[in-house]
Amino acid sequence: KQQVADLIGADSREIIFTSGATESNNMAIKGVARFYKSRKKHIITTQTEHKCVLDSCRSLETEGFHVTYLPVRKNGLIDLKELEAAFQPDTSLVSVMTVNNEIGVKQPIRDIGEICRARKVFFHTDAAQAIGKIPMDVNNMKIDLMSISGHKIYGPKGVGALYVRRRPRVRLEPLQSGGGQERGLRSGTVPTPLAVGLGAACEVAQQEMEYDHKRILKLAERLVTKIMNEVPDVVMNGDREHRYPGCINLSFAYVEGESLLMALKDVALSSGSACTSASLEPSYVLRAIGTDEDLAHSSVRFGIGRFTTEEEVDYTVQKCIQHVKRLREMSPLWEMVQDGIDLKSIKWTQH
């Protein structure tokens, strides 16, 4: 717990072991909402949160809570003025993720923390994609609850943590009842090997963070620059500046993301998020930033991590360029665009 706490500037007594960030998010959102429900029935979150945050909010709506789902701007960031306008006298919690799992954008967490603290509303952030990758300090950022995942920082799968602030104290109604482990907030025997693994991963992440970040930034720039120099009509989704560089989401116009994935079988990529990849709906995160449906279907997410090599990046770039060109040559839409036809102007016949 000390190793986890050190990584985020917390006290070890504020760390609760869970089975992962999904459970941590459920605990934080449902736990706070239910504990304060006699006086407060309103929660604020964003439209681009991870599925488990949105689903937790949906389930609270069936219990009579009101949830405001803030839109994001074209760059994927929330508008702080809209956040301020969304507060109600009975708002108990604001939940905004630090780094988005699909497009890598980084929300202004410190500003959000200030706004919430000034209004005495608890602030939760799903930091699964940020912990160990960018510096996080719960006091400096005024975070009251924070979700952490083990396998996102090269720890074991099946373990995570929830940071719960002691001063000002955050009270939760536990989801799981039992023998009262983890200060009664999460009963059940703590899985020692997993907890040890998470602690060790946090310690390594703290030592390597600065080095990793510089390296990943360089590789990410190499990937994006090389692809964009060779291929026209590629759009980078999400803000260029406020982001974590290891998560890159590109849309290749006139190419289906799925077809590109099939062509790049030997490279681990995804279209949309890993969690919703089973459905052919275009990503709700891309829809929220106003991406056209056809471009959303053309998107591919590249993840660059601690163990990614320059050779792997170059191989991926080369294969990507090759297959995008090949797939476009097969596309009648691409042909029409080359002939100067505006696709938006076409009336497709209805059968």
Predicted confidence band at 279 (pLDDT cuts at 50, 70, 90)? Answer: low
* Helix/strand/coil for 163: strand
* Cβ proximity of 66 and 89 under 8 Å: no
Identify the structural domains of the chain with CATH numbers, from first to last.
1-204 (3.40.640.10), 208-345 (3.90.1150.10)
Segment 24-50 mean pLDDT: 98
| pLDDT (0 to 100) of residue 274 | 46
What number is the average pLDDT over the span 20-34?
98
β strands within the chain, DSSP E: 15-18, 42-46, 66-70, 91-95, 122-126, 145-149, 160-164, 234-236, 247-252, 299-303
Which amino acid, one-letter code, is at 242? Answer: H
Predicted confidence (pLDDT) per residue in 50-66, tens digit: 999 999 999 999 999 99
Q: Which listed residue (57, 202, 247, 275) is catalytic?
A: 275
pTM greater than the 0.85 cutoff: yes
- Amino acid letter, residue 116: C
In whole numbers, what is the pLDDT of the chain averaged over residues? 95
Inter-axis angle of helices 192-230 and 310-329, nearest 10? 50
What digits encode the pLDDT tens for the residues 174-224? 999 999 999 999 999 999 999 999 999 999 999 999 999 999 999 999 999
What's the confidence (pLDDT) of residue 280?
A: 63
| Omega cis (within 30) before 168 | yes
pLDDT at 85 over 90: yes
Active site residue 202: no
Q: Which of 134, 59, 123 is nearest to 91 (CA)?
A: 123
CA distance 54 to 25: 10
pLDDT at 16 exceeding the cut of 70: yes
Share of the chain above pLDDT 70, in %: 97
**For 258-275, how does the pLDDT look when each residue is reduced to its tens digit (9 = 90+)?**
999 999 999 999 986 444
